[in-house]
Amino acid sequence: MSGAGSPEISVDGTGLDIVIVAGRWHDVITDGLIAGATRVLEESGARHSLVRVPGSFELPVACKVALDNGADAVVALGVIIRGGTPHFEYVSAAATDGLTRVALDAGKPVGFGVLTLDDEQQGLDRVGLPGSKEDKGAEAAAAAIATAQLLQKLRGYSFD
Write down the pLDDT at residue 8. 63
Q: Is 88 annotated as a binding residue?
A: no
The one catalytic residue among 6, 87, 97, 118? 87
Mean pLDDT of 16-21: 98
**pTM for the complete prediction?**
0.91
**Higher-confidence position of 52 and 133:** 52
Residue 1 has pLDDT above 50, yes or no: no
pLDDT, tens digit, 9 for 90 and up, residues 95-149: 999 999 999 999 999 999 999 999 989 988 998 888 888 999 999 999 999 999 9
Q: Is 126 annotated as a binding residue?
A: yes
3-class DSSP assignment, residue 57: helix
3-class DSSP assignment, residue 144: helix
Alpha helices (H) in the chain, listed in sequence order: 27-44, 59-68, 87-106, 120-124, 136-156
Cβ 47 vs Cβ 72: under 8 Å? no
Report how far residue 100's alpha carbon sits from residue 60's, in angstroms, rounded to the nearest whole number: 9
Q: Is 58 annotated as a binding residue?
A: yes
Q: Is 87 a catalytic residue?
A: yes
Task: Give the number of other CB atoms < 10 A from CB of residue 150.
Answer: 11
Report how far residue 40's alpha carbon sits from residue 33's, in angstroms, rounded to the nearest whole number: 11
pLDDT, tens digit, 9 for 90 and up, residues 70-82: 999 999 999 999 9
C-alpha to C-alpha distances, 85 to 27, 56, 64, 92, 125, nearest whole angstrom = 22, 17, 29, 13, 24
- Angle subtended by helix axes 27-44 and 136-156, to nearest 10: 40
